[in-house]
Amino acid sequence: VFSFKDKTIKLWKITERDKRPEGYNLKDEEGKLKDLSTVTSLQVPVLKPMDLMVEVTPRRIFANGHTYHVNSISVNSDCETYMSADDLRINLWHLAITDRSFNIVDIKPANMEDLTEVITASEFHPHHCNLFVYSSSKGSLRLCDMRASALCDKHSKLYEEPEDPSNRSFFSEIISSVSDVKFSHSGRYMLTRDYLTVKVWDLNMETKPVETYQVHDYLRSKLCSLYENDCIFDKFECAWNGSD
């Protein structure tokens, strides 16, 4: 399992134990070495049942790949690579190489004053290892194909819903920022979450989502208060159920 904090990514191994060995020749029950002069015979250690214990041990640490805090990671369907994203870049890693990654998306402008959006989440396609999608703070989704070029600075498809001018407000850009994106298990659809809605997108239809679900719609009248206490910047995740 992967975990990340700030700019460092860790790969962990999770194991379960419900038996423990007993009857060591050179160790006592507490694991301390015995006095060899007291060992008069040899015995075969045996496994005895115990309460289920879950152990987590670090296997690899992937560092020095990001300048900004990592916001998402996604394992590729090839089971050999994964990608990690921060606000401005997406890197591709090999599971066996911890000190080097390959930059596949870079939206950092030459002048940071020209920055208009940041990357908020990314995910690999569940079946096609060359495809991935990433979302932005402007509410758009970009589908990229790694077969097109080493640096995916040009997307294959752009999914963006036209804004209704009548609903335009000071908070529009904040609440339209996509905080999470997930492919369906079939790979045909994408699920996105912003502050007040959950949307389902068809990969073959870029102009608008096929379904939109209002979440906490009563908060629309309280956006000013949410902005003042910074709750409007909270990030939410989304997920598909097992049967899509």
DSSP 31-49: SPBPPGGG--S----EEEE
* Residue 76 in domain: yes
Query: Strand 157-159 and strand 180-183: pairing?
Result: unpaired
CATH number of the domain bearing residue 160: 2.130.10.10
> DSSP 3-state helix, strand, coil percentages of the chain (rounded to 5)?
10, 40, 50
How many angstroms separate the CA atoms of 9 and 91, rounded? 12
Per-residue pLDDT, averaged over 3-9, amounts to 90
Per-residue pLDDT, averaged over 198-227, amounts to 93
Tell me the per-residue pLDDT of 85-114, one tens digit each, with 9 for 90 and over. Answer: 999 999 999 999 999 999 999 999 999 999
Strand partners, 56: 14
What pTM value is reported for the model? 0.82
- Range of the structural domain that residue 19 is part of: 10-57
Residue type, 226: L
Tell me the per-residue pLDDT of 12-58, one tens digit each, with 9 for 90 and over. Answer: 999 998 888 777 777 776 667 777 777 677 777 788 888 898 989 99
Residue 172: helix, strand or coil by DSSP?
helix
27 & 109 share domain:
no
CA dihedral 172, 176, 179, 185 (to 10 degrees): 170
Per-residue model confidence (pLDDT) at position 188: 96
Query: φ, ψ for residue 220 (rounded to 5)?
Result: -60, -35
Burial letters 198-209, b for 16+ CB under 10 A, else e: bbbbebeeeeeb
Per-residue pLDDT, averaged over 136-160, amounts to 94
Tell me the per-residue pLDDT of 151-176, one tens digit each, with 9 for 90 and over. Answer: 998 999 999 998 877 777 888 889 99
Q: How many domains does the chain have?
A: 2
Computed over its alpha carbons, how large is the radius of gyration of the chain? 25
Per-residue model confidence (pLDDT) at position 29: 67
Per-residue pLDDT band at 140 (split at 50, 70, 90): very high
Per-residue model confidence (pLDDT) at position 169: 83
Strand partners, 83: 74, 92
* Residue 42 in domain: yes
Per-residue model confidence (pLDDT) at position 25: 74
Q: State the chain's mean pLDDT as an integer.
A: 91
CB 86 within 8 A of CB 119: yes
104 & 32 share domain:
no
Strand partners, 240: none
106 & 75 share domain:
yes
48 & 135 share domain:
no
Task: Find the helix or strand (DSSP H, E) in which 226 lies.
Answer: helix 223-228
Per-residue pLDDT band at 178 (split at 50, 70, 90): very high
In the numeric block, which tokens belong to residue 65? 């790949």
Per-residue model confidence (pLDDT) at position 224: 93
